Every structure is written in structure tokens, then in C-alpha cells.
Structure 1
Amino acid sequence: MNDFDDDDDVFDEMILRRLSGADLPEMDLDAYRGWIADVEPPTDAQIAAFADYVAGARSWYKHLPLTPPGKLFQFYIDPHAGVDRLVNRSGEVHLRMRTEQTTPFHYSWMTTAEYREWFGCLAFSCAAGSGLFMDDQLGNPDLLIDNNCTLPAALHSADAAYEPVLVDSTCHQPTLQISCLTADSPPQEVLEAGACSLTALVHPRATEDFLATQLAAIKRKQYKRYDAMGGVFDSIQDRLSDLDAQVSSSDETAKKASSDPVFVALIHQEKTRLRQSMIEAMQRMRQVAFQDFKPAC
């Protein structure tokens, strides 16, 4: 049985390399459509469910800016969505189905079967998210997906399950794992269609209390509002300024705002807008990826 202690330096280097965001070759649109030919287009219900999943998939309230335009998110179709990417010491990437016997590593974790039922083969990327890695072992080779790979003979031995690997669940860049050694980026047409920008307010924990506290403290410290953002966020700032003028501290402003019906309604309106922007991005992407797709009437 291998010991992870012997591989710490190797895996540390591997994490740094995978976080570096090396440019991937772009897959041609026709080739991409051929590659996903056996994938069912996501339904509207799956798209809506995935929007809710992505909203809480990372601690976006820590990683995204409070104010528009926010950070870029990209949605695309990946036939390998919802599986584990296992990186071994030589840099090969094997794909493994997640089952009830697989080790959960994050609060967003679910089995591959559950993922596919809820979301189909939808995937997303955002460079603002934190890296998500875990040391593991290859496990049952029967759970590995045929990924144009020839497994080393050693992996077919009795010790195959103990092969040290790094589970890479980072979503920093859109990636299609073509084989153990090659990965492509989805076509630019797909990524452009599936793009939207999101702020910290997309996360379920970014409540009116959270936003009121953050904005009130910033307002008092900077003695100015953010530049005009357009849309709902300007109305949020205007309402906060009105409430701030009635009290003498940021704590009082936050307390007053979090219970103010107008402020609360504006926050809910902005959260609804962010969710809808994800849904519309996925619907646009679906139309590009699945050329003959016709929405249900």
C-alpha cells in the first residue's frame, strides 16, 4: 500500500500546476456537438435546479464582489459532469463515478446518479472560486469511466485500489477531459452563449442582513456610494442612504435596513435577477450546443 506522505511534494506541485490555469486548446463546435451527441439536452427544470445548485456550490459571498457587474460564470455541457477527476503522480486524469461508497469531500458533493438526475450533464466554471482538492486513493477500478485510457498494468493488480491520487474538483476554468492526458476547452461559441456575471448576493447566505451590514460599514468608512451600477443595485444604495441618514452608526443602519420592507424587497429582486441571468445563460448555451433543440411549448 502506498503512503501519501511520500507524495506530498508531488501533489503540492500538481495542485499549483492545476491552479495555474494553463490555456487549453479549444474544441471545434462541430466536434463538440459530435462529442455530446449521446447527451440529452438539459430540461428547463434541470436548468433551474442547476442555477440553485451553483448559487450555493461555493462560498460565493466570500469570493465574489458585492456590487455589479460581479465575476464571470460560464455554463456548458460536459458528458463527464458529476464525476470525480483523479490525478495520479504522473499527471494522468482518470474519471470515477461517485457512489454511496465514495468519500464525500465537500458540502456540494452528491453521487453521479443524483447529479445526472437533477442536472443532466450541465457544468460551470468561475475563476473566482477557491481551489478544491483532496487526497484519495483510486478505489475500485470498476468505477472508472472509459476515457480513452489504457490503465497501467499495476492498476489491475490487487493493490490498484490503493493507488494515491488527487481528487480535483476545482471549477476555475471550463474543461473537457478528452483522455487521461488531454483536455480541451469548450468552443468559444458555447462559452459566450453560456456566460453571465454574478455577485456575492447570489449565495443563499448573502441575505439582507449580510448585505446591509457590509454596505453600511463600507459607506461609513468611505463616505461615498459606489459608482452608478444601473438597475436594482442603484435603488438598493439609494434606500440604504435614506436609512443611513436617519441614524448615527453603521450598526444602526444595518439593523434598520435588514427590517425595512423596501430594502428587503429590493434585495429579493436582485437575487431573483441573478438567478434568472444564470437560467437564461444556460438556455442560450443549450440552443448553441444542441443545434436542433426546440423548447417545449
Structure 2
Amino acid sequence: MSTSFQPEHTRSEPGPGTVIGERRRLINVAYRLLGSLAEAEDAVQETYARWYALSRPQQEAIASPGAWLTTVAGRICLDVLGSARVRRERYVGEWIPEPLPDRTEWLGGRVSGGRSEPPDPADQVTLDESVNMAFLVVLESMTPAERVAFVLHDVFRYPFAEIAEIVGRTPAACRQLASSARRRIGAARAPAVPTAGHAGLVRQFKEAWEAKDIEALVDLLDPDAAMIADGGGLVGTVLRPVEGSARIAEYLIHIAGKAPGTTLLERTVNGRPGLVAQHAGVTVTVAAFSLADGRIRRIWAVRNPEKLRPWTAYGQS
């Protein structure tokens, strides 16, 4: 698997356009490494701050500005991943990667007050298989070094010699890290479901939920399904996974009764069909789904408002 963003190996003049032109690729790398759009944006901003802190002769001495920026961004992300493990141990409830809307549904670029607003970082992320929620959740189980080696090599096709400079290990060790990560991905990967089939099942789930049809919900869920919710301690939600089709269906009917006036919308979530719940026009929940054997196996429901910035902006547009 790879994106259209390939490593830069040719010498180029470090002009403003060349350097700024790397932003999209850096955002793509950082989001996959960190699972957070906000943290990815911060990492990329810090990367550019370090570039512009160099003198002009220092910049001109760098053969490949793109490679330099990627190396710096990778090291920053590696540091963030290390500290994130400690922060997530103190996180209230389950931590789910930040969901991304389709590029047609984010705030940036829409006209407000007669002028176009600055682009939102969400528009910079290419929505491919490497950002679907199931994939990002598996990345979360990896060590920081495994994640960096795997994402940079298997997704972005960077050579192990360059990755070694980022993680501070030998190319051979980086190859082993990527191999270990690849095994994790293979063990967790469910058979691919065509987008149309995925969308159809999500639509049936939405309709059953709206109808409060508990039997239909149970039929749509895998018997061993799990629902994981992320409120970050900022909004009410379950703190542990809800497991089993019957328990999930009962819980969904329960919360539907507690939130009258909520609207469910079919939306693209991290490149796959998902659902968005809005109340008074504001997005309050974004749900991603993983399917297997014609049923829903996993539901990831993000309710933490800090992770719903692009979605909330869209809901208010």
C-alpha cells in the first residue's frame, strides 16, 4: 500500500514555493503517524519553524529540502508518540484516532462573509486505505518505532536507510520493525468489503437505529461485535467497550431515547461509509464501522468535541 506522495531524492532549490509545497505530504505523514489531525498540524508547524530558523546558507546546503523536512517531521512525531503513550494512560475512557471527513465536507475553503477561509488541514489528507479507522486503530497498538518504520516504508515508500536516520537505528533494525508491524496489520485485517456493500449495511444500521428496532440491530451486528466510544471525559459516554450484539443494540436504543431531536446522517468517515449524529445542527458523534462476513464487527464512536473540529464546523456551515 502506498500513497501518491513519494520521497524526494533530487536536489532542488529551497525556494519558498518548494518548501511550502511539501506541506500536504507532511500532513499526510504526520496524521498517519499520530492519529490526530491537531497533533499532525502542530508537528508540521514545528517542522517549518525549524526550517525557517536555519540561515540561508544552511538551507542552501541541504541537498533535498523535502527529505530534510520529512526527517525532522518524523523525529518530532516519534517524540510525540512517546509522550502520547503516557498521556493516553491518563485519558478518560477509550482513545480513538481523530476521524476525518470527506474533503467536500470540511469548513476550509467555504465562503464566509464574502471571503474564502484558509484551507483546513483535513483537506490535505488523502483518504485511502491507510487512514481507515480499523487501520489506524491497529497502528495504535504498535511501538512508536514500529509505527514510524511501517508508515514511512509501507505507506510512503521511504527507504530504510532514510528511516534509520529518523528512528536512530540501523536500516536492518528498521526492516525488522516494519516486518513486525506488518504482521500486526495482517493479523487484524478483515476481508475487504466493497464500498457499496459497506454503505448499504451502514444504511440498514441507521434505519434500524432510527426505528428503534432492536431485533434488526442485533441481526446487523456480529455476535461478538464491540462498540468503542471516545468522549475524552468532556461528554458523557461509556468508558469501556460495549461487547456483544445484544448489549450494543440495547445500549443504542437506550441512548436514542435520551437524545430526542438527534439527526443521523450518512457520511464518509476516513474514506469509508460512516454515520454522523447532529443535534441542533452541531455534530456530536462521528461513527466509523468495520465489517466482516456481512455484519458489523466494530463501531468506533468519537464524541470528544476536541476531535470533531472539522465536523462541527461543517455542521454549522
TM exceeds 0.5? no
Rg comparison, structure with higher value: 1
The structure where helix makes up a greater share of residues is: 2
- The TM-score bracket by the shorter chain reads under 0.3
Q: Which structure exhibits the higher relative contact order, with contacts defined as CA atoms closer than 8 Å and separated by 6 or more residues?
A: 1
TM-score, scaled relative to structure 2: 0.22
